[in-house]
Amino acid sequence: MDPSTEPRVFLVGAGPGDPGLLTLRAAEVMARADLVLYDQLVPRRMLDFARPTAEVVCVRDLPGQHPDKYPHIYNRMIEAATAGKVVVRLKGGDPLIFGRGGEEAECLRGAGIPYEIVPGVTAALATAAYLDIPLTHRMHASALALVTGHELPNKPGNRLQWDAIAKFPGTLAIYMGIARLPILISELLRYGKPPDTPAAIIERASTGDMRTVYAPLKDLESARRHAGIESPGLILIGDAVTNRPEQSWFEKRPLFGQRVLVTRPRHQAGGMLRKIELLGGVPYLLPTVEIRDPVDTSALDATLGKLRDGGWDWLVFTSTNGVHAVVRRLKALGRDLRAFGRVKLAAIGPKTADALREYHLEPDVVPTAFWSEGLVEALAKEVAGKRVLLARANRGRELLREELSKIATVEQVVAYEQVDAIDPNAEAFNPLRRGEIGYVTLTSSNVARAFLSACDETIRGRINRGEVKLVAISPETGKAVRDLGYAVAAEATEFTADGVIAAVVKLVADEQERESRVAKSDEKSELIT
């Protein structure tokens, strides 16, 4: 491609909310961007696709008020592109469906800025898919109309003809219409739309926060008020709305509607966040610790030199961080994987084993119980009389060293440092205080201690009353929580991040079953009375 015509600005559709619906092309250009200008309604999780060094700006924070804010958006795009930067203009849904993407493209053309439009999944399509509502159906709807519920009052040319829309022989998907819902309903009824036409309003489609209300068209506004659904949302009107199951496939997910806090370091949290989303939950991130290379690497460097010279029979890793830190330091010293020579490798669990395999290193020992006690048991017969090196963090349990030292020559080295890194002003504290987050996952003793020490009295009160439930990755972490005076709602049976999520799923299922039994008992009591 001619560099002069290579796009400098990308108008990107972020989809309706679920990060998994971001297109591959969107993820590609996000990873290239120097500047990301995103709409307020774009979920923060979408920004995880941007590279760490990118400047990320919410257009809400630019000067001006709607609609005079838009010239500032245009200017920011043009200035950055003219300076040679790659710009992503990230918009909810699809840029060209009620997203002002056409206006932004027109502005870029006028400035001579090469651009590319990356389509996104628009709200109507995602909403229907996540609710099992067929927008078209051979028996109910042979057409689909996308309609704005908010037209510019000074729009030139033809305005919406509600008489024609009322007679449209298919499904109506009305965007940005909740604020004007009484007027829209009145217009549709005025021009002949049957009052009992099936209708629905959907808020936060494709996310675990999704809420829906169904009602005949004539009752839709009162149903909306009763449910407390507010803008933004999508309105669906037509016979196809009735052709749905009682619960959609997404609403049946085991964590649907549950809010779960992840406290892992940011660079390790992505898998847990996505798993929670796929299970229908709403994840929040509050990194409690930070992983970094040692400030002083002299001890690590000396140890790695002895490793190369055959100074150790076994090298034991107790985390994925240790694996990556050791390999990273080897590369910094100008060495490669040959430094491992004939040393045997042990990994505390499957994730640590997988980290070794990323570098084509196959562990010799992986215990069936993924914690220090299990690793001691697995190594006991292997390392007797041998020289053992433990690559670990700067803090943590000493059990592994203490127990293996009884049968082997053991040395440990700090491969990485783990430091408390909670931002006291982190946004995630607010939903905790409001009681909106029901579950907190704790993936190590240090994480647990850092999180609980950062909680204020309001949050501690909610924890003590059982409104916020603490879920520990292992008995060790559970003990650390109890030692601080707090109850543990559940402990993982498999001591991994997936095991923690499985514990949350079981906890939710048990609570729902308990609530169901209570409700049935209450119904029975009322009948007897």
How confident is the model at residue 159, as a pLDDT?
78
Question: CA 86 to CA 35: how far, in whole Å?
Answer: 6
Q: Are residues 426 and 416 in the same domain?
A: no
User: 220 vs 371, which has greater pLDDT?
Assistant: 220
Domain end point (choices 394, 420, 446):
420
Q: Which of 274, 233, 280 is nearest to 20 (CA)?
A: 274
How would residue 153 be classed by pLDDT, with cut points 50, 70 and 90? Answer: low
Residue 49 has pLDDT above 70, yes or no: yes
Same domain, 70 and 99: yes
Residues 391 and 498 reside in one and the same domain: no
Q: pLDDT band at residue 220, thresholds of 50, 70 and 90?
A: very high
- Within this chain, do residues 322 and 232 fall inside the same structural domain, yes or no? no
The four Cα atoms 327, 331, 333, 338 give a dihedral, to 10 degrees, of 70
Question: Of 420, 453, 479, which residue is a domain's last?
Answer: 420
| Confidence tier at 490 by pLDDT (50, 70, 90) | very high
pLDDT band at 309 (very low <50, low <70, confident <90, very high): confident
Q: Look up the CATH number of the domain holding residue 212.
A: 3.30.950.10
Residue 1 belongs to a domain: no
Q: What is the CATH number of the domain that holds 263?
A: 3.40.50.10090
Contact assessment for residue 128 and residue 250, using Cβ atoms and an 8 Å cutoff: no
Please determine, for residue 453, whether its predicted confidence score (pLDDT) is greater than 70: yes
- CA quadruple 411, 416, 417, 422: dihedral positive or negative? negative
Please give the distance of CA 196 from its chain centroid, rounded to a whole number. 39
- Binned at pLDDT 50, 70 and 90, residue 370 comes out as confident
Any idea which residue has 């971001």 for tokens?
22
Residue 64 scores a pLDDT above 80:
no
Inside any domain, residue 482: yes
**271 and 375 inside one domain:** no
366: in domain: yes
Q: Are residues 442 and 375 in the same domain?
A: no
Q: Provide the pLDDT for residue 528.
A: 65
Note whether residue 24 is domain-resident: yes
Where residue 57 sits, what CATH number does that domain have? 3.40.1010.10
Instruction: Kindly report the average pLDDT of the chain as a whole number.
Output: 92
Q: Is the pLDDT of residue 527 over 70?
A: no
CA gap 138, 45 in Å, rounded: 37
Q: Is residue 526 part of a domain?
A: no
Q: Does the pLDDT of residue 435 top 90, yes or no?
A: yes
Let me know whether 298 and 414 are in one domain.
yes
| Structural domain that includes position 63 | 9-121
Rounded Cα gap, residues 108 and 273, in angstroms:
36
Task: Please compute the mean of the pLDDT values over residues 2-15 and round it to a whole number.
Answer: 85
For residues 366 and 353, the answer to whether their CB atoms sit within 8 Å is yes
Angle between helices 475-483 and 445-454 (to 10 degrees): 30
Cis, peptide link before residue 232, omega less than 30° from 0 = yes
**DSSP state for residue 196 in the 8-state scheme:** T
In a domain, 247, yes or no: no
Total count of domains within the chain: 4
pLDDT at 152: 58
Question: 247 pLDDT exceeds 90?
Answer: yes
Give the per-residue pLDDT at 3. 57
Six-digit token string for 510: 């048990």
Domain end call among 58, 90, 121: 121
Q: Identity (one letter) of the amino acid at 275?
A: K
pLDDT band per the 50, 70, 90 thresholds, residue 138: confident
Proportion of the chain above pLDDT 90, given as a percent: 76
As a whole number of Å, the end-to-end CA separation of the chain is 79
pLDDT in the model for residue 340? 87
- Same-domain check for residues 131 and 72: no
Longest dimension (CA), the chain: 90
- The number of angstroms, rounded, from the C-alpha of 123 to the middle of its chain's C-alpha atoms is 19
Q: Based on the domain organization, do 269 and 359 belong to the same domain?
A: no
Strand blocks (E) in 246-351? 259-262, 282-285, 289-292, 314-317, 344-347
Cis peptide bond prior to 67, omega within 30° of 0: yes
In a domain, 527, yes or no: no
Are both 395 and 464 inside the same structural domain?
A: no
**Residue 305 scores a pLDDT above 90:** no
Residue 296 in domain: yes
- Would you say residue 308 has pLDDT above 80? no
CB 238 within 8 A of CB 198: yes
Which amino acid, one-letter code, is at 314?
W
Phi, psi at 57, each rounded to 5°: -130, 125
Confidence (pLDDT) at 67: 67
Q: For every residue of 381-428, which 3-state class applies, written as one string?
A: CCCCCCEEEEEEECCCCCHHHHHHCCCCEEEEEEEEEEEECCCCCCCC
Q: Are residues 359 and 463 in the same domain?
A: no
Question: Angle at the Cα of 150 (from 145 to 155), degrees rounded to 5?
Answer: 100
Same domain for 307 and 351?
yes
